[in-house]
Structure 1
Amino acid sequence: MRSRRVRPYALTGGRTRTRHHLLVETLISVPQYDPSLSDALMPESRALYERARVQISIAELSVALALPLGVIRVLVSDLASQGAIFIHPTAYAYQNDHHVLERILDGLKQLPV
């Protein structure tokens, strides 16, 4: 990791917006680990990539790497755009999908009381 003197905005090039909708509970993982990609990444992105070899949430990454959520979101979004990280769908992704909501309702109705 870099010195604590490096400002968070320097890690993201001043960017605060992401290309992907990432909630604190969003889970990510590395679909196919590539050691040469890991070696080529900046230290913060490398640490994130290594941690994501096991499914982990955005919030957990922020705590584990001691980086602000905004920085984690930008770095995750960059890696996802490269195809290095998989972003698992959240409830947000299904909010308007009536088919999924109907399946959930049917499943709830089948639960024993």
Structure 2
Amino acid sequence: MDRPERPAPGHEANLVRPYTLTAGRTGTSVDLPLEAPIQTLQSGLFHQWPPNDLRGKIIQLCIKSPSVAEISARLDVPLGVARVLVGDLVTSGYLQVQATLTENSTHDERRELIGRTLRGLRAL
């Protein structure tokens, strides 16, 4: 008789369905490239977030300007959920999307993005 696998110690199984975290929404009104750095604004730091609130965890992570993809990985939530929640926080004035690369970006800007991406991957 096979036993169901248990989560690794220290890793709780998430019993909440992803769509409940976003009220069923899958999109955001904010232009939010996955690689764009997201930064916490002062209003996000001063807001009183409920304990263990996912939005509060996102605010704390964004003090170091991670990308949306990094936020998703670090909080262990689907990328679509991270995008919707980050978009909500940007719209509410708690987070800011920083500029990302364009066709006019310099080689130094491109190297910085690659370096930041590699550092983020190593941290995981």
Of 36, 40, 47, which aligns to 1:30?
A: 40
Count, aligned residues: 96
Shift of residue 21, structure 1, vs aligned partner = 1.8
d(CA) in 2 for partners of 1:62, 1:68: 6
The runs of 4+ residues in structure 1 deviating greater than 6 Å are none
Percent identity reads 32
2:75 is the alignment partner of 1:65: yes
Partner deviation per Cα, 1:1-44 (whole Å, 9 max, x = no partner): x9611000000000001011222211101121544514258711
Q: Letter of the 2:34 partner, please give it.
A: V
Distance verdict in 2 for CA 1:11–1:87, change over 3 Å: same
Aligned to 1:87: 97
Q: Which runs of 5+ in 1 are unaligned?
A: 96-100, 106-113
d(CA) in 2 for partners of 1:82, 1:34: 9
Q: Which runs of 5+ in 2 are unaligned?
A: 1-11, 108-124
Aligned to 2:29: 19
d(CA) in 2 for partners of 1:57, 1:69: 11
- TM-score (ref. length: structure 1): 0.72
d(CA) in 1 for partners of 2:51, 2:43: 13
d(CA) in 2 for partners of 1:34, 1:71: 19
Aligned to 1:8: 18
